[in-house]
A = this chain, B = another copy of it.
Amino acid sequence: MPEFSHINNDRAYMVDVTEKDDVHRLARAEGRIHLRPETLEAIRSGEVIKGNVLATARIAAILAVKQTSSLIPMCHPLPVGGVDVDFHDGDGFISAEVAVRTYGRTGVEMEALTGVSVALLTIWDMVKSAEKDEDGQYPETSIEGICVTEKRKS
């Protein structure tokens, strides 16, 4: 039977981590947003558009990493030590990668995943006028493949 460390007896709780050791920890997560070819082309060819879309998404992601324990109920507040957000231009999508470092008592994978999610949501918001069809719908836009690519302590 799998273990659910945030559930005890009959209820959810925030597990006590005060006995765990402060160690250096790193987590890396990634994900991608699929966009219309015209939108991707505009981002690729236009420095102004690209710069503004990705800078906005990067800063939103860094701020969101620091807010993770306010968003995810059982997540422990942690002294985030460093955050790096990078974007890549893929075939039909833009991918985001977020690395989070801390010196603390629990892992930072939820922080990295939250950063990736907010980076991709912000890209969506920044390009939404380009992605909507004539009925105001988003037939081609989607967020895919959010996963943890690395997690370690040292």
Contact = CB atoms under 8 A, between A and B. Distances in A.
Contacts of A75: 125
B59 A14 contact: no
The DSSP consensus for interface residues of chain A is mixed
Nearest to A74: B125
Given A73-B56, A102-B18, A145 B142 contact: yes
Contacts of A52: 4, 6-7, 11-12, 55
Q: Could you say how many copies of this chain the assembly holds? A: 6
Contact of A64 (B71, B78, B107, B146): B71
Contact of A16 (B101, B113, B126, B148): B101
Given A16-B82, A84-B13, A151-B137, A2 B36 contact: yes
24 contacts: A4-B42, A4-B49, A5-B128, A6-B129, A12-B56, A12-B126, A13-B84, A16-B82, A18-B24, A55-B56, A56-B74, A63-B71, A63-B73, A73-B125, A79-B104, A114-B121, A117-B121, A117-B143, A137-B151, A138-B151, A141-B148, A143-B143, A143-B146, A143-B147
